[in-house]
Amino acid sequence: MASTYLCAMQVLNGKETAQAIKDSLKIEVAQLSSRGNPVPHLVAVLVGNNGASETYVASKVKACQEVGFKSTLIRLEENITELKLLEMIRELNTDPDVDGILVQLPLPKHISDDEVINTIDPAKDVDGFHPNNVGRMVLGQPTFVPATPHGIMLMLEHYKIETKGKHAVVIGRSNIVGRPMSILLSGAGYPGNCTVTICHSSTVNLKEICQTADILVAALGKPGFVTADMVKDGAVVIDVGITRVPDASKKSGFRISGDVDYENVAPKCSYITPVPGGVGPMTIAALMKNTFRACAIKHYEDQGESIH
Ligand code: NAD
């Protein structure tokens, strides 16, 4: 049922915001080249034929082309051994032509995500998953911040959303979204300075906790999980969820669904992200920023400058 909240609700347009970021990156890439440096080079490694992973990697490669980066997609058979994959990553680590390495997750069951992540050179870990980079993020030091929470922070900044002193509730504690999100929102500075509650599958009274959120980030992967009765009037709602729901009316046979019951929640919010067109494009823009950073650090530091 629609709420009686009367303030204007604003949709956080991830597509437009991501485009603005990519446009300014394009200019920075041109400046980097004009100093005689090669353009950033992202290598994406895709193991197997997971449909969703194929789509994500294709969007990343397309974004590289848009901003003027070089990109390479390495496709590997589902049955590649962990040893072979690690060997390949070590080669990419030492290749001076490669600035950023991303290995698309999830990996087949016989390969350990941790082993793979730990093998990527932290200086090329543009996903920000390596323990060194996670540690730096926790300590508030400059680093590669995982793309999805980074993209959300960029979105909050772009729309100048007040975060200081707000109660942020994050649903989900994964290493790639929920946990880093909670750390960034609780950090000093802007966006940040929130009081954060992180919820997960063992949280008791989730609904009551969500009702106290000024900023609610839903990252659990359960379509329509956040309903209007869980959301406070005027809340900022960030929907990270991307689930393929079977839909015979679509050519693809599925539609993408977020974790928020958008239709009923949106009227209560001050700001809300749509799915698709919200967090997804911001994730890709943040990955492009990380890749640019990896390249710029390498080349500017070679020239005796620092970009930290
Ligand atoms: P995950 O499966 O690794 O983690 C889900 C988290 O949700 C877990 O920490 C779990 O404890 C929690 N959870 C599950 N059921 C719950 C419940 N009933 N109540 C409270 N907490 C519950 O997922 P993930 O990788 O963090 O991804 C979450 C969602 O975000 C997925 O839909 C994924 O596709 C999407 N995603 C989107 C982007 C993007 O760019 N938009 C990027 C990454 C992930």
Q: Which of 113, 181, 201 to mutate to test the pocket of ligand 1 (most atoms within 8 A of CB)?
A: 201
Lowest-pLDDT range of 50-54, 99-103, 135-139: 50-54
Query: 177 CB less than 6 Å from ligand 1?
Result: yes
According to CATH, what is the number of the domain 146-278? Answer: 3.40.50.720
What class, spelled out in words, does domain 38-121 have in CATH? alpha beta
Please give the positions annotated as active site: 60, 104, 127
Share of the chain above pLDDT 70, in %: 95
Mean pLDDT score, 190-211: 98
Q: Please tell me the predicted confidence (pLDDT) of residue 235.
A: 98
- DSSP characters for 129-187? -SHHHHHHHHTT-S-PPPHHHHHHHHHHHHTT---TT-EEEEE---TTTHHHHHHHHHS
Whole-angstrom Cα Rg for the chain: 20
CA-nearest residue for atom 18, ligand 1, is 201
Four-residue CA torsion sign, 70, 121, 52, 76: positive
Tell whether the model's pLDDT for residue 299 goes beyond 90.
no
For the chain, what percent of residues have pLDDT higher than 90? 91
Look at residue 115 and tell me whether its pLDDT is greater than 50.
Answer: yes
What are the boundaries of each domain within the chain? 38-121, 146-278
Among 101, 200, 215, 217, which residue's Cα sits nearest to residue 165? 215
Q: Whose CA is nearest to atom 24 of ligand 1?
A: 174
Ligand 1 pocket member 153 (CB < 6 A): no
pLDDT at 158: 98
Question: Would you state the structure tokens that stand for residue 157, as one six-digit string?
Answer: 């900044």
Q: What is the pLDDT of residues 257-275, one digit of tens each?
A: 999 999 999 999 999 999 9
Asked if residues 233 and 268 have their Cβ atoms less than 8 Å apart, the reply is yes
Q: Is the pLDDT of residue 4 over 90?
A: no
50 lines ligand 1 (CB under 6 A): no
Quick check: do 38-121 and 146-278 share a fold?
yes
Please tell me the distance between residue 241's alpha carbon and the centre of ligand 1 in angstroms: 7
Band (1; pLDDT cuts 50, 70, 90): very low
276 lines ligand 1 (CB under 6 A): no
CB atoms within 10 A of CB 116: 19
